[in-house]
Structure 1
Amino acid sequence: MKKIDVSAELMEALAEMAAHAQGDASRLVTHTVVVPEDIDVADIRKALGLTRPEFCRRFGLDVRAVQDWEQKRRRPDRAARAYLRVIQHNPAAVEAALHAA
């Protein structure tokens, strides 16, 4: 097991913060998050082989909201679209996170 030098990591983090505060972003790590503008909720649910109530119970969603999304009466907000995208790509991770004690 590798031993971590916490003081060295803190000093490095402080140096990065100071550089950033002075306008130097060259050492920053950035990520681009892509949230789809449109998402087919029914396709996601059907790909998992779940009924609407099962899908909602499993992922903590409101049945009426999912019904409205599937029937295009409403559009999921940005956070819901991001959540649905995660469900689409890794439903097991979502379930594990939601069922963790």
Structure 2
Amino acid sequence: MGEGSRILQGAREALAIARGEIPEEDFAVHIPETVDVRRIREKLQMTQAEFARVFGFKLATLRHWEQKSRNPEGPARAYLLVIDREPDVVRRVLREPGRDCR
């Protein structure tokens, strides 16, 4: 299994745990309670519009997170953590045509 596949599988497992589909004790997953979305975006040297478009967020949602008027929920925090640590892998996986999560 390649690095991108492992990261994507980890994100899927984090989402399943956050949804309550997998008992949390079955996996050792750390999803931070807070995520500094602006720091992640600025680290990648992207505008809000670019970050939202590239990673699939609504621009308004991104702005709310950065203004701290809303906080990303568990699955979004997990996804943002992966973006923070492996942005190139996320970009590559999202660009792969014809490969869905079925």
Both structures adopt the same fold (TM-score exceeding 0.5):
yes
Spell out, residue by residue over 1:56-97, the C-alpha distance to the aligned partner (whole angstroms, 9 max, x if none): 111011100000000000000000000000000000111111
After superposition, residues 20-35 of structure 1 pair within 5 angstroms as 31-35=27-31
Q: State which of 70, 82, 95 in structure 2 corresponds to 1:74.
A: 70
Q: State which of 26, 45, 54 in structure 2 corresponds to 1:58.
A: 54
Partner of 2:83: 87
1:62 counterpart letter in structure 2: K
Larger radius of gyration: 1
Aligned length: 72
Distance 1:71 1:31 in 2: 32
TM-score, normalising length: structure 2: 0.68
CA apart distance, 1:49: 0.2
Partner of 2:13: none
Which consecutive residues of structure 1, in runs of 5 or more, have no partner in the other structure?
1-29
TM-score, normalising length: structure 1: 0.69
Q: State which of 32, 51, 60 in structure 2 corresponds to 1:36.
A: 32
Secondary structure of the structure 2 residue equivalent to 1:34: coil
Kindly report the root-mean-square deviation, in angstroms, between the aligned alpha carbons of the 2 structures: 0.9
Secondary structure of the structure 1 residue equivalent to 2:45: coil
CA apart distance, 1:31: 4.1
